[in-house]
Homo-oligomer: A and B are copies of this chain.
Amino acid sequence: MAAPTAIKTAIDLAVAGELAQQLRVDSVRSSTSAGSGHPTSSMSAADLLAVLVGRHLRYDWDDPANPGNDHLIFSKGHASPLLYSVYKAVGVVSDEELMTTYRRFGSRLEGHPTPELPWVDVATGSLGQGLPDGVGIALAGKYVEEAPYRVWVLCGDSEMAEGSIWEALDKASHYKLSNLVVMVDINRLGQRGPTELSWDLDTYHRRAAAFGARVIVIDGHNLGEIDRAMAQAREGGHGQPTVILARTRKGRGFSEVEDREDWHGKPLPPEMAERAVIELGGERHLTVRGPKPEAFSRPARAAADGAAVKLPSYALGDKVATRKAYGQALAAIGVRRDVVAMDGEVSNSTFADIFAQQHPERYFEMYIAEQQLIAAAVGFSARGFRPFASTFAAFLTRAYDFIRMAAISRASIRLSGSHAGVEIGADGPSQMALEDLAMMRAVHGSTVLYPSDATCAAALVATMADLDGISYMRTTRGAYPVLYDSGEQFPIGGAKVLRSSDHDQVTLIGAGVTLHECLAAADQLRADGISARVIDLYSVKPIDTATLAAAAAATGGRIVVAEDHHPEGGLGSAVVDALTGAGPAQLSVRHLAVRDMPGSGTSAELLDAAGIDAAHIAAAASELTS
């Protein structure tokens, strides 16, 4: 099939062939100069990239922020020598930068690509993530932006063993992402030997087709076949993503390593590299440019200040679940057209369904595929949207690698995890998030929020929309009394002192359900003549060290922290970390947390069994003050 005539192509195939050799030579040179890297994994895909970049990728290299640019994602991030050699070939990275900084300290040419480079959308290097991220970008382009760009993803064959690849293809076909093109570099060899499927292209073909893709099988070193496949892919097909299965040879072009085992992830020693460059036809310094993007302006969005947002309000004392407030507030901020939401088939539990009903055009059902759920959010973030992704907090553990990588991607995504802790009751431990705070606090630059009432939850949802980085809100299943008037401010890094006096003897710290238990405990203690300060630790990270330190000082260092979470890495750790860093102080801390494996039961039974209910908090406080 001929390439559509309307699209200008910039270089002919003969030049593309030269370019491919240049990319190989530069992949060898750069990795040898760095003393590490993956030249052979780059060489197998050089022909694909030469034809793509020279003839099909519509990208204005002088304007990486151009909203009409295609996207190019190296899901096989270890082929960074190839990607950076492409950047040299289009003239945005100099040969000197490539040869003297790649993989060195302080360089933007890191071992695996990150958005420190303006042409990189998402960090890769943990395999099986670039494609799911690309699905998110393609969703944005097709459904929200109605943009002309295509998303081109280079996958390795080893990563086809990751389940996340199939979550991605499933969603790509479900959402008819004809703007997505997946190029699989099937070079047969993984890190430690042959891949599971080697060159069994028939099986790859059957799998990708069964998952709804249009599949084109080519010789990945035949420029004409590559060109025809990409032209066909560019046409878009019939509401399907395109998967180009390219049979290639690892280390292609240098006979000493081509299709040989034991050459994964190793630079060629200098003498070998010299021979490789000679066999590849010597150094070249072509500068090429492919087709430009179509003119495209982003759709106008609501003012970023969210002036039109009217948050829900709640009456003091009414019982409202924070998860409900999450959904209501999310729907309210949905008047901002940069807000998008997605959920893992539990939107009637997380209450993301309220947003879905009010803003169906910006809601994406990801079904039970939490990795793709997070990746979709990352993709939307790469396009400048403000995604909110929700599921049960316990099931966010399914996507921890994606959350970790989202931080490296410099993505700004907002996560909501419902059904925290033993409070959920009868469903049992598989549905109880008891590790999520530890997991989310350890993410670089994360914000971790844990509201105790609906007013706070709603306010924090609005705040999250404008936060950079990874932010997380933990919500509770059950309905508890509203504690704050609407209009109350909840700054990130703050805390609320709900009970205090000049003669407080002990500080009680909680969040979520345990804050309500702390309040009840304070009432019990007061009846016993003990005055307790109560702190609502709605901002777990960053944490309000000043308020904590003041409380500790005022109450003789006597602190009870109660949390519906395992003892490690949650509220208790956050408090102790903060106070320890706050300077010398005598602390007497009782840390109440879920230390045994819970089972089923009512909320009250399980909070009691875990020792985190009002009675246990009061008892711990009494002991401290006795």
Chain A residues near B (Cβ < 8 Å): 34-37, 77, 103-107, 109-112, 114, 116, 123-128, 158-159, 161-167, 170, 174, 190-192, 195-196, 203, 206-207, 209-212, 345-349, 353, 367-372, 394-395, 397-398, 400-401, 404-405, 407-408, 425-431, 434-435, 438-439, 441-445, 541, 557, 565-570, 572-574, 576-577, 580-581, 583-589, 591, 597, 599-602, 605-606, 609
Contact = CB atoms under 8 A, between A and B. Distances in A.
Contacts of A166: 163, 166
B397 A430 contact: no
Contacts of A34: 426
Nearest to A356: B192
A397 B408 CA distance: 14
Given A442-B568, A573-B569, A369 B163 contact: yes
A191 B541 CA distance: 32
Give the oligomeric copy count. 2
A587 B580 contact: yes
B345 A600 contact: no
Contacts of A371: 163
Given A191-B348, A368-B190, A584-B557, A114 B162 contact: no
A404 to B, nearest CB: 5
Contact of A196 (B35, B367, B427): B367
Q: Enumerate the 8 nearest inter-chain pairs by beta-carbon distance, A residue then B residue, closest first.
A: A163-B163, A125-B430, A105-B601, A438-B442, A569-B569, A206-B210, A111-B428, A398-B401
B566 A442 contact: yes
Contacts of A372: 163
Given A573-B568, A581-B589, A584-B557, A401 B407 contact: no
Contacts of A568: 438, 441-442, 541, 569, 573-574, 577
A597 B372 CA distance: 24
Nearest to A353: B192
Contacts of A110: 428-429, 599-600
Contacts of A428: 103, 110-112, 114, 125
Nearest to A173: B203
A191 B349 contact: yes
Contacts of A167: 161-163
